[in-house]
Structure 1
C-alpha cells in the first residue's frame, strides 16, 4: 500500500512531529483539526466559531486528498468542556448534513488552549 503525507496551507500547519493527514491507499487519516485560522493564526473566542473553523480546516485537509465530508466514515471529536456538546453537535450536524459517519466524542484537556479538536478517516474510493 502506498502512503503519502498531505499538506495544505488552507489549514493550520502541524505544530509537532506529525502530518495534517496521511493518504494510505484509498483512505485519508487526518490529524486532529483545531479552530485555528491558518491565515491569521488566531482562534475565535466564541466556541461555536471555533467549531466552525475546525470543521473548515478539516474540509481543507480532506480536499487536499480529493475527499470531502461526505467521504468521512469515522470521526473522533475532543472537547475540553463536555458541557459544550449541544453547541458542538449543532455545528457538526449542520456541516455533515444528512451524512452520518461513525463518531466518538470525548471530554479531555487539549494542548494549546484549544477547546475542540476533530479528526477523521475518509474513504476516497480510489479516486
Structure 2
C-alpha cells in the first residue's frame, strides 16, 4: 500500500499518540484481561458491559432491569473517562433474543432521548457468562473532553495577554518564540498597561534619586559657606 508523505506523517502521529487505560470503580470488575475503557486520539473506547452490579453480582429480573444496569455501567465508565453521555457517537448492542428488542428500547430511550448517537443492534447465539444482553457490544465511542486552552496572563494584573496564541502548555513547546511573545518589553509576561506603569514608576524613582542628590549637594554647599 502506498501513502503520500502527508498521510504517512499523519499516520505516524496517530500511532505515537498516548494510549490511557481506564479502570472504573463504578462498573463491575473486568471478567477477563481487558480495561473498562481506553482513551486514545481524543476518543474513549468502552469495553462491552453485561448486567452485573459494580460489586460483581448478576442482576435478576426481566430484560428491562438488566438493560438499565448495563447502561448505568457503560455511562459510569464514560464519566470516569472524563467524558459524558452527550459526547457518545456510536453504540453497539448484542441481544441474545430479538424478542427483547422492544423492551430494551424502552429503557434505552430513557437514557438517549435528546441525544441520539449512531447505533447497531444484532442478535447473537451466546454471550459471556450466559447473560441476555451486552452493550456497548465492544464499541461505545465517546469523545474525550480535552481541557480548554487558556491564554497566558499578565503577571501583575492577571489580564489575558493580547497577541499571544491560546494553547495548552504542551503545544507551546512546539511553536516558535515569536508566537510566545509580542515585540515590546515584557511582551510575554506583562500587559501593555502594566509595562507603562512600570516605566512611569521607574522614571519617578530615578527622578526622586536625582532630586535627593541635588538637595544633598545644595546642602553641602550651604554648609561649606558657613
TM-score by length of 2: 0.54
Residue 44 (structure 1) aligns with: 60
Measured after TM superposition, the shift of residue 126 of structure 1 is 2.2
Deviation track 1:65-95 (CA, whole Å, cap 9, x = no partner) reads 1112111000100011011000111111111
Q: Secondary structure at the match of 1:33?
A: coil
Tell whether 2:132 aligns with 1:115. yes
Residue 73 (structure 1) aligns with: 89
Residues of 2 paired with 1:40 and 1:29: CA distance? Answer: 22
Residues of 1 paired with 2:104 and 2:79: CA distance? Answer: 22
Of 45, 51, 76, 1:35 maps to 51
Cα gap change, 1:9 to 1:125, in 2 (>3 Å):
closer
Higher-Rg member (1/2): 2
Measured after TM superposition, the shift of residue 125 of structure 1 is 4.0
- Larger RCO: 1 or 2 (CA < 8 Å, sep 6+): 1
Residues of 2 paired with 1:50 and 1:21: CA distance? Answer: 21
Is 2:92–2:119's contact at 8 Å kept on the other side of the alignment?
yes
For structure 2, the residue ranges without an aligned partner over 5 or more in a row are 1-16, 148-226
Residues of 2 paired with 1:126 and 1:60: CA distance? Answer: 18
Whose strand fraction is larger, Structure 1's or Structure 2's?
Answer: 1
Tell whether 2:39 aligns with 1:23. yes
TM-score by length of 1: 0.94
